[in-house]
Chain A
Amino acid sequence: MQRRQFIKNTILGTTAYIVSTDIVFSSTMPKGYIPLGFQEPDPYKLFGKDTEMTVLNDKPWNIEAKAHLLDDKITPNKYMFIRNNGIIPKAIDASKWTLSIDGESVIKSKTFTLQELKTKFKQYTYQLTLECGGNGRSEFNPPAKGNQWTVGAVSCAEWTGVRLKDVLENVGIKSDAVYIGYHAADTHLSGDPKKEPISRGVPMHKALQDETLLAFKMNGEDIPLAHGYPLRLVAGGWPASASGKWINRISVRNIEHDGTKMKAPAYRVPCKPVAPGEKVKDEDMCIIESMPVKSLITYPKSGAMITKGKTLHIRGHAWAGELEVKNMAYSIDFGSTWIPCHLTKPSNRLAWQHFSAEIAFPKIGYYEVWARATDTNNVSQTMLVPGWNPKGYLNNACHRIAVKVK
């Protein structure tokens, strides 16, 4: 056994030794799998991200912001989180890019060039909030598997494109249409060309909303590669996984779309509440649609020390999935009292809103400023981590920052 283990260790050790030598496949590893090298380029340069961003994963790339980086009203690329399921497509030629609309529920399949989409249809620009369904996952207990997002997998950029509904109308949709599902040019981590890394979608009522865009611009420029260049779906207010990147095909389905990561347990939560750690059957998991009400204090950065007598200006953003945020409040006494914040209206539906407040502290000491948003259905953020779910989605617990008054 000792000897066998040695042989195995040697072989695998050699395989793992890929810093500077050729890759040797271990006997148990099928051909075609290339061990991850450590030659990865600097992601900050590669994607134009600020160096304060946190890289959670480099294959596939998953990068998140910190609360204080999200202070801008419109999120610039450098602070926008990246959530990838597969490998970013290579050598994209936008002049040859096409989008096909097919599926059981189109009258006749049709293909558009990117140029046709841009010229044939009216263009719209909206600020749209995109939040990863797993944002906040790191707080769940027992832990849920996946990227351990803290608070920074959310953004609100300005997206320009054409309405999906205009394009679908042009193609012609049958009355039995139930769902749209996207297909994209990214490739599966395993290298298997038959596998799609992700192919999700939305029900028709969401697909036909004015704000659901086939976007080709972000913040007035071509969409950055990591965010879906040259064409992506943007379905604001829903788990960002519904907003497919690098899309080249949309299928109009007469059933709930059954692409990769549409089926349980991906992007689903228990239909009925469960105890922490409980096993939940696939058939008892329901698709997440609108994201819940949430907010972030983006100024000041946690850890601010001020002198007694000074007021503290705080500000941030609040959003509520399909809904609007109605009220915003803060607390400096762990929720014993809540004081209203100033809150703006969204610049358009599904854009995040901005709040601010001036806080006077009664005495010196350690404080936490907690922020709590309430949506138009009178539903508020939780103070504790909300209902446990196997995949760790939808953590909308109040954000808080630490403050010391000296």
Chain B
Amino acid sequence: MKHSEFLKKNKRIYFTGVLFFALILSGAAGLIYKIINPSFLAFEKVSKETYIQKEDLGTIENGIHIATGFKDDKSLPLVIASCTPCHSAKLVTQNRATKAGWTGIIKWMQDTQNLWDLGDNEDLITEYLAKNYGPEEKGRRTNLTNIEWYDLED
């Protein structure tokens, strides 16, 4: 083996080594970045699976989630998971309030009923509640509604 040939071979090994090391390094950096920022390299396809997950909740008929009675809308899974551990969904669906009103109810539950910090989800939840369970103007007394008429026999 000539000296020049030896150098050439060594150089190839050296370069292969450097390339390999750089690959590992960039892979690790990517992985770390992925941990810090989970949306990195996420593809549009993934969001379709959200829909599949939502179906796992059970039947939704005429826009109503049958098992809880909640209206089907954005953040429904979040609302179910946050609102029903302690009390029935019925306690939510029978009430009406503005976004500020629902926020106040959440604060009361956090202050007195051991509700945990909802973090960023709080806004999504109150948005859902105010949109689907907002107050209606009822005045001082409404007309009688849902009257089931029947013949009264003596």
Contacts and interface: CB of A to CB of B under 8 A. Distances in A.
A384 B140 contact: yes
A3 B46 contact: yes
A60 B84 CA distance: 11
B152 interface: yes
A300 interface: yes
15 contacts: A6-B49, A10-B53, A12-B78, A13-B53, A15-B81, A17-B57, A36-B89, A59-B86, A141-B138, A142-B135, A145-B97, A302-B148, A303-B147, A384-B140, A402-B147
A381 to B, nearest CB: 12
Contacts of B121: 8, 28
A303 B121 CA distance: 46
Contact of B105 (A29, A145, A190, A302): A145
B16 interface: no
Nearest to B152: A304
A204 interface: no
Give the top 5 A-B pairs by smallest Cβ distance, nearest first: A3-B42, A190-B114, A304-B152, A12-B81, A16-B80
Contact of A368 (B84, B144, B149): B144
A38 B66 CA distance: 10
B26 interface: no
Contacts, number: 155
B151 interface: yes
Given A3-B46, A59-B88, A383-B141, 4 more contacts: A16-B84, A36-B87, A142-B135, A304-B152
Given A3-B38, A19-B67, A55 B58 contact: no
A389 to B, nearest CB: 14
Interface of B: 38-39, 42, 46-47, 49-50, 53-54, 56-58, 67-68, 77-78, 80-82, 84-91, 94-97, 101, 105, 113-119, 121, 135, 137-142, 144, 147-152, 154
Contacts of B95: 143, 145-146, 148
Contacts of A195: 114
Contacts of B97: 143, 145
Q: Determine chain B's interface SS by DSSP, over half rule.
A: loop
Interface in A22-69: 26, 28-30, 33-36, 38, 55-60
Contacts of A304: 150, 152
A141 B141 CA distance: 9
A28 B154 contact: no
Contacts of B89: 36
A1 interface: yes
A192 B53 contact: no
